[in-house]
Amino acid sequence: MAEEVNYRELTFNGLWKNNPALVQLLGLCPLLAVTTNVVNALGLGAATLFVLLISNLAVSLIRSIVSDAIRLAVFVMIIAAAVTCVELLMQAFAYELYMILGIFLPLITTNCIILGRADGFARKHGLLPSAVDGVMMGAGMAAAMIVLGGLREAVGTGALFADMHLLFGESARAWRIVLVDGYQSFLLAILPPGAFIFTGLLIALKNLINDRLAARAVPATPSPVTDRRVRVTGQIS
């Protein structure tokens, strides 16, 4: 299929403009639940990225032979298979992290981003664009999770990169950086309310940067809003 795909735009979409976590507000459950520190966020972010890549590739491969009527069921099967692989891999190589992430690893199956990209993008595009889209969307999600995890860890405990040995082996144990000595840990940032507050602040920050960028750029002709979805914080392209 000869299709014109702008890879730069795919990248920009996934990482910033259409960021799954901060704009589409998809996958909020893992985003809010596991981002208590950087290592958890990194672990789940990487797992999500991997699943997104595999599912986008597989869906793109079979896109011409699966009929529309049963496509969702097939996609979910593919995603579930990929998630099972990730789960087994983590169990083998990062068992402690696997135990910490617990139910949120299998729950990647139900993460809307993955089904959304499979149905919204990979179903209509070739192998390479689908792979790029999967990686970029996954990277956008992972980046949002890591930033959120870092913020919550820094405010909550006054340190960063604790327990990195769970993911990178014993030598990473020393990566922990104490930002403030004798910091009185601020539990709220680590508890669930902190997740909501910091996600809100991140979205506000993103909108602020967008506004600044828009103000600096030449005012473009306003395009009509075509998407009428309610649960978005930016404009979905």
Which residues of this chain interact with other proteins, rule CB under 8 A? 184, 186-189, 191, 197
Q: Which residues contact 189 (CB under 8 A, 6 or more apart)?
A: 151, 152, 155, 156, 197, 198
CB distance 133 to 7 below 8 Å: no
Q: Say if strands 177-178 and 159-160 run parallel, antiparallel, or are unpaired.
A: antiparallel
Nearer to other proteins, 99 or 188 (CB): 188
Q: How far apart are CA 226 and CA 116, in angstroms?
A: 18
Distances (CA, A) of 56 to 48, 72, 184: 12, 13, 44
* Shorter beta-carbon distance to other proteins: residue 64 or 184: 184
- Residues 67/72/77/78 CA torsion (nearest 10 deg): 80
Closer CB to other proteins, 145 or 155, in the complex: 155
* Residue 154 beta carbon to other proteins: minimum distance, rounded to whole angstroms: 15
**Among 49, 35, 113, 44, residue whose Cα is nearest residue 75:** 113
The distance of Cα 73 from the centroid of its chain, to the nearest Å, equals: 23
Closest CB to other proteins among 22 and 143?
Answer: 22
Q: How far is the CB of 192 from other proteins (least distance, A)?
A: 10
Residue 33: CB minimum distance to other proteins, A: 17
User: What is the length of the chain?
Assistant: 237
Nearest approach in angstroms of CB 187 to other proteins is 4
**Cβ 194 to other proteins, closest distance in Å?**
9
Q: What minimum distance in Å lies between the beta carbon of 191 and other proteins?
A: 7
Of the pair 168, 186, the CB lying nearest other proteins is at: 186
Nearer to other proteins, 95 or 196 (CB): 196
